[in-house]
Amino acid sequence: MVRQTQQSLCKRLAELDGGSFRQDPWERAGGGGGLTCVMQDSTVFEKAGVNTAVVWGQMPRSAARHMGGGQRLRSGEGELAFYAAGVSVVIHPRNPFAPTAHCNYRYFEIGGADDDVEAWWFGGGADLTPSYLFEEDARHFHSVHKKICDRHDETYYWRFKKWCDEYFYLPHRKETRGVGGIFFDDLHQKPVEELLAFAGDCAAGFSEAYLPLVERRHQTAFAEGHRRWQQLRRGRYVEFNLLHDRGTAFGLNSDGRVESILMSLPLAARWEYDAQPPPGSEEARLLAVLRQPRDWVEEG
Please confirm, yes or no, whether 102 is among the known catalytic residues.
yes
Q: What is the CATH number of domain 2-291?
A: 3.40.1500.10
Predicted pLDDT at 121: 95
Q: Which of the following is catalytic: 92, 102, 142, 145?
A: 102
Predicted pLDDT at 300: 65
DSSP secondary structure code for residue 196 in this structure: H
CB within 8 A of 249, min separation 6: which ones?
none
Using CA atoms of 229, 232, 238, 239 in order, give the dihedral in degrees to the nearest 10: -130
* Tens digit of each residue's pLDDT (9 = 90 or more) over 234-288: 999 999 999 999 889 878 877 778 999 999 999 999 999 999 999 999 999 999 9
Cβ–Cβ under 8 Å, residues 43 and 17: yes
SS3 119: strand
CB within 8 A of 300, min separation 6: which ones?
none
What is the C-alpha to C-alpha distance for residues 52 and 64, in angstroms, rounded to an integer?
21
Predicted pLDDT at 61: 78
Region of residue 153 (phi > 0: left; psi between -120 and 50: alpha; otherwise: beta): beta
Predicted pLDDT at 281: 98
Cβ–Cβ under 8 Å, residues 169 and 86: no
Measured CA to CA in angstroms, residue 111 lies from 44, 122, 227, 253 at distances of: 44, 15, 48, 21
pTM for the full predicted model: 0.95
Cβ–Cβ under 8 Å, residues 53 and 86: yes
